[in-house]
Copies of this chain bind each other. A is one copy, B any other.
């Protein structure tokens, strides 16, 4: 049937089972659709090792790209053609999977998503201009509501747990999913602590006299609208929403589908608390909750509306988001942390730090994945002591080439850069601190790197200065790389990027600055300071 027929439906992918009603020969084109389908399906004959064909408007390259694009790209516009592929080929399988997503997305690239972000920004601008008192009241209202309405929360969480059981969900995921009264109390305490901290908005970072009567101030302001995508843990939502509210930002939240019931209730409770805490001055629209899969993709495309995406989840989630958005992403994809045991280290200190770094929470991003031992420690038995301690704690030590040669391990490691996330680690020997630093720069992920050494040996400072990573520690476990432990209050995440924020990120990482320039005693013009005969001169005097 001709595309002009309102009942006509685009078939993005043609395969043997497609029921296609081939239309009459077109009166306009030289070949009707029937001829094209015939030609195209000839080109993808069953079993042919080498053919795929697209029927699409010949003058619209973007449409063809759109058909083949793995993700809906608003710049290309909707797919306006049909893909033919060899039946049973990988191409067919991929195409089916991906086109379904593309078509779903096309329908859901809705004004709704943009509206949500625009509304959050509008409310955030109102909140940012209000005194800290309002934000403090909102935070305390959120904290109180989590306890007052714990029955609702735990009830909803129960539904998620039942679903998880029916879906035979992984036990670790269920653990993260489960809310308890104790977890809610911890959340309450954290949010109250945030409310008790000094205001970090409106802080003057620089003040300068530019000229007589012309004064500049650089002031902290909220970033705008943040999108946080978190997996499975429903307790992430109040924690992150509180950080965003404390810093005056608008927020779009996307929780894991496993926690859909818990998230919906918590979101409602936060919304109520915002309106109550602000006496109705700020609406619940400041925190939007994204529910469907399609909507996240829509939001990832809103690079003109959302200022920062913060993924909180596994490597795969972070990598997916980084690959599918032009919005700046704050987060880390890898946590390949090293502990370097210097020749000056004692066996006791080295064992304690290495075991703590590896076993305190093996799946955390700040857990040690690689142990670098100075070659002298192999001679003086420190290395053997450390490895024995690790093995006693249940850790399997895989050997790098030199460690295998020296007889430190039974199992060779396959990769020199790998995040095990469990009770395994790589062990390798280096001949000097220089070699350790080079190794870390080559195979590390720039997250957290630690040295164990004699407290007074200059090697410690050398390591601290020269290692290029977000966190560099001396005689301390890598596990300290955490917002709470480093005294930032709560934490939105840990950044291994070098732009904006690096390492554990608290409220300060959710702020940007604004330059305010005030003229007093008359106006100031650029032309007065330039040209052939300037009438005014810059003084550029620091005022703080």
Contacts and interface: CB of A to CB of B under 8 A. Distances in A.
Contact of A515 (B361, B475, B486, B515): B486
Contact of A61 (B68, B214, B513, B538): B68
Nearest to A44: B58
B525 A465 contact: no
Contacts of A522: 349, 475
A502 B526 contact: no
16 contacts: A29-B48, A29-B50, A39-B51, A39-B53, A44-B58, A58-B85, A58-B91, A61-B94, A210-B485, A330-B499, A469-B514, A474-B517, A477-B525, A481-B515, A502-B512, A502-B514
Contacts of A441: 125
A260 interface: no
Nearest to A540: B487
Interface of A: 28-31, 33, 35-36, 39-40, 42-61, 64-65, 68-70, 75, 81, 85-86, 89-91, 94-95, 98, 125, 129, 208, 210, 214, 216, 221, 223-224, 307-308, 322-323, 326, 328, 330, 349, 352-353, 356, 360-361, 441, 452, 455, 460, 464-466, 468-477, 479-481, 485-487, 497-500, 502-504, 512-527, 529-530, 538, 540
A430 B279 CA distance: 30
Nearest to A530: B360
B45 A52 contact: no
B54 A58 contact: no
A214 B480 CA distance: 11
A323 B530 CA distance: 37
A59 B89 contact: yes
A96 B225 CA distance: 41
Contacts of A30: 45-49
Given A210-B480, A471-B515, A499-B500, A50 B45 contact: no
Given A54-B52, A94-B61, A471-B515, A216 B524 contact: no
Please provide the 9 A-B residue pairs with the shortest distance between their CB atoms, ordered closest to farther. Answer: A479-B526, A475-B519, A39-B43, A356-B525, A59-B90, A39-B42, A58-B86, A487-B540, A500-B500
A360 B531 CA distance: 10
Contacts of A328: 328, 497, 499
Contacts of A86: 58
Contacts of A40: 39, 43, 51, 53
Contacts of A520: 455
A524 B223 CA distance: 35
A472 B516 contact: yes
Nearest to A327: B499
A12 to B, nearest CB: 14
A409 B466 CA distance: 63
Given A55-B50, A64-B52, A485-B210, A464 B523 contact: no
A328 B327 CA distance: 9
Given A91-B59, A91-B60, A356 B476 contact: no
Nearest to A487: B540
A36 B504 CA distance: 57
Contact of A470 (B472, B514, B519): B514
B51 A58 contact: yes
A274 to B, nearest CB: 20
A486 B36 contact: no
A221 to B, nearest CB: 7
Contacts of A476: 214, 517-519, 523-525
Contact of A527 (B216, B356, B466): B356
A540 B476 CA distance: 16
B51 A216 contact: no
A164 to B, nearest CB: 27
Contacts of A460: 518
Contacts of A54: 52-54
Nearest to A210: B487
Given A330-B499, A476-B523, 11 more contacts: A39-B40, A43-B53, A49-B59, A51-B55, A61-B98, A224-B468, A356-B527, A361-B526, A455-B519, A455-B520, A474-B519
A447 to B, nearest CB: 11
B498 A223 contact: yes
Given A500-B500, A525-B477, A515 B58 contact: no
Given A48-B36, A466-B129, A502-B514, A353 B43 contact: no
A472 B216 CA distance: 10
Nearest to A481: B515
Contacts of A517: 471-474, 476, 480, 486
Nearest to A67: B68
B43 A518 contact: no
A466 B129 CA distance: 6
